[in-house]
Amino acid sequence: MNAPEASAQATLSDTLKLLEEVSTYLKRLPHVPVTAQLVRKIDAHLESPETISARRLATEHERAQGARSAVFFDALGVPLVELEVYADRVTIQITPLEHFRSVAIARLQTRDVLELPLVPLRERRRGGLV
C-alpha cells in the first residue's frame, strides 16, 4: 500500500472513532428531536455494511503498519531470539535448534536488559528462526 492510501486508511479509522464519540456524546444530551434524528443518522452510517467493511480494512491496515520485529543474533549471525510486536501483543521465540537454544538462554541470563532495535515486520532480517 502506498503512502497516500496508508494516510487515507488512518484518516478513515480516526474519523469513524470520532463519529462514535459524537454519537455517544449526543445520546447523553437532553432529548431533542433534531438531535435524536442526527444520532440515528450517525448510528445508521456506523452500522452500514460498507462502513463495517471499511473499518475492518482500516483496522487490518493499522495492525499491519504497527507490526514490528527484532532479532538477537549470536556472534556468527545465527538468530537466537526473535521478537514480534503487534499493537497489543508481543511474541518471543527462542531458536528450536538445541545447541543454539542453550546458547540463547545462557546469553539472555547474563543480561539484566536486552535492547533490540525494532524494524517494520516486512523488513525482516536476513534469516529467521527455524
Question: Which tens digits make up the pLDDT trace of 83-116?
Answer: 888 777 788 888 888 888 888 888 888 887 778 8
Question: Which tens digits make up the pLDDT trace of 25-81?
Answer: 999 999 999 999 999 999 999 999 999 988 888 777 766 767 788 898 888 888 888
Which secondary structure element, helix H or strand E, spans residue 95, and what is its range?
Answer: none
Give residue 22's pLDDT.
Answer: 94
Answer yes or no: are the C-beta atoms of 54 and 12 closer than 8 Å: yes
Answer yes or no: are the C-beta atoms of 46 and 23 closer than 8 Å: yes
Percent of the chain scoring above 90 in pLDDT: 25
What are 114's three cell numbers?
536486552
Question: Which tens digits make up the pLDDT trace of 12-22?
Answer: 878 888 999 99
Give residue 90's pLDDT.
Answer: 85
Residue type, 49: P
Say if pTM beats, i.e. exceeds, 0.85: no
Instruction: Show the CA angle centred on residue 71, arms to residues 67 and 76, nearest 5°.
Output: 160
